[in-house]
Amino acid sequence: MKCTYEIEVRAQCPVNPSDTDLYKFFIESESLIEVEKINKFFLDNAGTNKVFQEALTQLAAVTLGVHCKSVGYHSGIKVTCEAP
């Protein structure tokens, strides 16, 4: 079985404190993940927390035990991250 979850996440830019970044996350798993677990992960690790997209993508993959892809824009540059 393959499950794919998509969520838009806001996080505080660690370089420009006045910027809130918007990321789209694509989470792939070989088994069910309760969406409440995904929501709690991002609630605990994004939002008002200062975090780089790359670090958040890696942390999501490791913590949730999934393949994780994120897409965001920073200073007009599209950034795509995948982990693991």
CB neighbour list of residue 73: distance below 8 Å, 6 or more residues apart: 21, 22, 79
Q: Residues 12-43: pLDDT tens digits?
A: 999 988 888 999 999 999 999 999 999 999 99
**d(C-alpha 38, C-alpha 5), whole Å:** 9
Distances (CA, A) of 29 to 20, 71, 83: 28, 18, 12
Q: Residues 48-77: pLDDT tens digits?
A: 889 999 999 999 999 999 999 999 998 889
- The single residue listed with the structure tokens 């969520």 is 7
Task: Count other Cβ atoms within 10 Å, centred on residue 38.
Answer: 20
Name the helix (H) or strand (E) containing 3: strand 3-12
Q: Which two tokens stand for residue 60?
A: 């999501």
Q: What is the pLDDT of residue 18?
A: 86
How much of the chain exceeds pLDDT 90, in percent?
A: 82
